[in-house]
């Protein structure tokens, strides 16, 4: 018994003198020291409940058709938010278009929009999501399909109307850009092949390029720009109209841009392959309504602004574009007032003869690459056949003609054919 009592007393003494062992590692903070906590990163997944969608503060990424996708090119075209694979990236393309109820980033438009799977909106306020997957998806014998309160065949890219989970938030629209973030989860394809990839979603932040709508006037984001009307007389119905520019930016630098539309259709066309420059054209409606063009976000320089109809004459003007310039230059094409040119090139000349509007007095002579660029952009070149090269339907004016690095200047007159022989002085 005495031994038992002694053991109890020893246990009590030892217990009183010992310190409790912590269940977790202690954090020791020195007074005044800066404490940095590693943020918790939640990796997004396929989540069909908008209430549980937490948009990560990282660039948009996700999975489409079983393929990991990331860093899309993002733009806004009216009420449509478009995310797609960068043009320069190799591999299968992918694209997601979210047709929102309103154009984002405009005054009065909501900064946050949410769509739950149970929402199947119809009518003018509908959400529609179209998706081009990065590779074929195994499914029944449907070429395409859409979701509109139920799955059905659809002769368009993969599309969902309702049935998906979307959270979109937008910041302030400035300088042609709109920051935002998105969480989009798409419903699974019913009756699909068992091997069909599941869990299609995108989540993250983006900065979208905002394309100006045809009805919008140019703003501060678009300067410098040249705009104006194009009046066309005597052209066949629905002839194709081309508007463009050739800019001289330095001794050895130039830029080219153009876009096309069919006349009498009120068709809208936009081209920006010569980035950052943008060319837009709204074709006229009938003979009494001129077409409207605009070349915006130009680099300061000297520009030849032109318009022409396919297989017909051109109209052009030279303009000096300075930083911040907002220029209006109207052009008129008269298909009934044209002339022609017949060229006899030097004996040793082969291939093609090139033509371009002559430089104005006091301007430097264009180098070979600039002149060639002008001729190609304007479509003014002709094959040498039996020592002759012929140009027809030329608008009146002064032109420079080049053959085998030799140059001549001619004046075209309506209703006449000018003959030019390079071997005659």
Per-residue pLDDT, 36: 64
Per-residue pLDDT, 221: 80
Is residue 291 within a helix (H) or strand (E), and if so which, with residue range? strand 291-296
Q: Identify the CA nearest to 393 among candidates 322, 309, 304.
A: 309
Q: Identify the CA nearest to 114 among candidates 182, 43, 61, 180.
A: 182
Q: What is the pTM of this model?
A: 0.62
Q: Provide the strand spans (E) within 134-285.
A: 145-147, 151-153, 158-160, 165-170, 177-185, 201-211, 225-233, 240-250, 253-262, 268-271, 278-282
CB 298 within 8 A of CB 224: yes
Domain 339-421 part of CATH 2.60.40.10: yes
CA distance 299 to 301: 6
Per-residue pLDDT, 28: 55
Per-residue pLDDT, 193: 63
The CA-atom distances, in angstroms, between 114 and each of 81, 109, 185, 265, 347 are 14, 13, 12, 37, 73
Per-residue pLDDT, 126: 57
Per-residue pLDDT, 277: 94
- List every span in the chain annotated with CATH 2.60.40.1120: 220-334
CA distance 380 to 391: 8
Nearest 5°: phi and psi at 194? -55, -25
Query: 220-334: what fold?
Result: Immunoglobulin-like (2.60.40)
The CA-atom distances, in angstroms, between 317 and each of 114, 244, 261, 302, 305 are 50, 11, 20, 11, 5
Per-residue pLDDT, 15: 43
In three-state secondary structure terms, 369 is helix
Tens of pLDDT, residue by residue, the chain (425 residues) = 444 443 433 333 334 444 444 444 445 556 666 656 565 666 899 999 999 999 999 999 999 888 899 999 999 988 899 999 998 778 778 888 888 888 898 888 899 999 887 775 544 445 678 777 777 665 544 333 333 333 333 444 455 555 788 999 999 988 789 999 999 998 876 656 677 678 889 999 999 998 777 777 888 888 999 999 999 999 987 799 999 999 999 877 899 999 999 988 888 898 988 889 999 999 987 677 899 999 999 999 999 999 999 989 999 999 999 999 999 999 999 999 999 999 999 988 888 999 999 999 889 889 999 999 999 999 999 999 999 999 999 999 999 999 988 999 999 999 999 999 999 87
The burial class, CB within 10 Å (0-12 / 13-18 / 19+), for 270 is: middle
- List every span in the chain annotated with CATH 2.60.40.10: 339-421
CB 159 within 8 A of CB 133: no
**Given the structure tokens 């932040």, which residue do they identify?**
205
Six-digit token string for 150: 């139920």
CA distance 269 to 286: 17
């Amino acid at each position: 018994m005495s031994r038992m009592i002694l053991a109890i007393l020893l246990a009590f003494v030892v217990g009183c003198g010992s310190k409790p062992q912590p269940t977790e590692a202690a954090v020791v903070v020195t007074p005044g020291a800066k404490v940095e906590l590693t943020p918790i990163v939640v990796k997004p997944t396929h989540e069909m409940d908008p209430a549980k969608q937490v948009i990560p503060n990282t660039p948009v990424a996700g999975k489409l058709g079983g393929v990991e996708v990331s860093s899309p090119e993002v733009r806004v075209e009216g009420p449509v938010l478009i995310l797609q694979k960068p043009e320069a990236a190799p591999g299968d393309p992918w694209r997601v278009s979210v047709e929102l109820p309103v154009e984002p980033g405009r005054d009065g438009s909501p900064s946050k929009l949410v769509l739950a799977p149970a929402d199947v909106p119809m009518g003018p306020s509908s959400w529609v999501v179209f998706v081009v997957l990065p590779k074929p998806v195994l499914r029944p014998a449907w070429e395409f399909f859409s979701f509109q309160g139920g799955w059905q065949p659809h002769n368009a890219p993969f599309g969902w109307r309702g049935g998906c989970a979307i959270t979109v938030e937008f910041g302030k629209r400035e300088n042609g850009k709109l920051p935002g973030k998105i969480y989009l989860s798409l419903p699974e394809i019913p009756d699909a092949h068992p091997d069909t990839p599941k869990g299609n979603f995108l989540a993250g932040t983006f900065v979208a390029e905002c394309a100006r709508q045809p009805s919008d006037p140019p703003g501060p984001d678009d300067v410098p720009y040249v705009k104006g009307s194009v009046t066309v007389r005597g052209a066949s119905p629905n002839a194709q109209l081309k508007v463009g520019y050739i800019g001289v930016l330095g001794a050895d630098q130039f830029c080219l841009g153009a876009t096309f539309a069919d006349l009498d259709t009120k068709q809208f066309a936009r081209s920006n392959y010569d980035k950052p420059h943008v060319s837009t054209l709204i074709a006229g409606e009938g003979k009494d309504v001129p077409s409207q063009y605009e070349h915006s976000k130009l680099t300061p320089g000297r520009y030849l602004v032109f318009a022409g109809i396919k297989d017909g004459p051109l109209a052009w003007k030279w303009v000096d574009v300075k930083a911040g310039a907002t220029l209006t230059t109207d052009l008129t094409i008269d298909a009934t007032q044209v002339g022609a040119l017949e060229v006899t090139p030097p004996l040793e000349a082969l291939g093609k003869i090139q033509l371009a509007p002559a430089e104005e007095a006091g301007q430097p002579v264009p180098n070979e690459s600039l002149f060639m660029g002008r001729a190609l952009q304007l479509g003014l070149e002709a094959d040498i056949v039996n020592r002759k090269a012929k140009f027809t339907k030329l608008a009146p004016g002064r032109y420079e003609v080049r053959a085998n690095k030799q140059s001549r200047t001619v004046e075209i007159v309506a209703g006449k054919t000018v003959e030019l022989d390079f071997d005659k002085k």
